[in-house]
Amino acid sequence: MTEMKSDTPVLLSGGNPQIPKGYGNAPVQAYINAMPDWKQDIGRRLDALIEQTVPGVRKAVKWNTPFYGLKDDYWFVSFHCFTKYVKVTYFRGTSLDPVPPGKSKQAEVRYLDIYQDKPFDEAQFIDWIKQASQLPGEKL
C-alpha cells in the first residue's frame, strides 16, 4: 500500500507552519498560506507592509520563520506564529524609536506581539520597519 503525501504543511506547536528553508518570495508565501485562522490575514498584511515600505526587500524562510532583509542572511525583521498571537522580531529593536515593547534575553532584540482581539498600529509598524531597514542587518 502506498501512502499519499499531503501538500499541506504540518503545523508545529502554537500553529507555526513547518516550511522548508528557502530564499525568495515563494517560501514566504507558502508559510503565510499555511498560517492558521486569523493569523494568515496578519501574515499577509505584515508581508505587504514590509514590501511597500522597503522596495527590493529580500525574503527567506529559516527555522520555520519568514525573514526580511536587504541582502541574504542579513535580516532586520521576522515573524512567527504562536498559539494566541503572531510575534514580530526586530533584530536591532533597541535602536528603534520608540523601542518596541517586548523584551528579549538577547540584548538588542525587541518584539511586537499581535493578538486577534487587540488593535494593530500599522503606522507604528511601518515606522519601525523603515528604521529597522536602515540599520545593519543581523547575520543569521
What residue ranges define each of the domains in the chain, with the CATH number in brackets? 14-139 (3.90.1150.200)
The CA distance from 103 to 110, in Å, is 5
Given a contact cutoff of 8 angstroms between Cβ atoms, the answer to whether 63 and 79 are in contact is: no
The CA distance from 70 to 63, in Å, is 19
Position 7 scores a pLDDT of: 63
Residue 33 in this model has a pLDDT that exceeds 70: yes
The CA distance from 38 to 86, in Å, is 10
pLDDT band at 4 (very low <50, low <70, confident <90, very high): very low
**Residue scoring higher pLDDT (8 or 106):** 106
Residue 12 in this model has a pLDDT that exceeds 70: yes
Average pLDDT over residues 72-88: 95
Average pLDDT over residues 67-84: 94
pTM (2 d.p.): 0.91
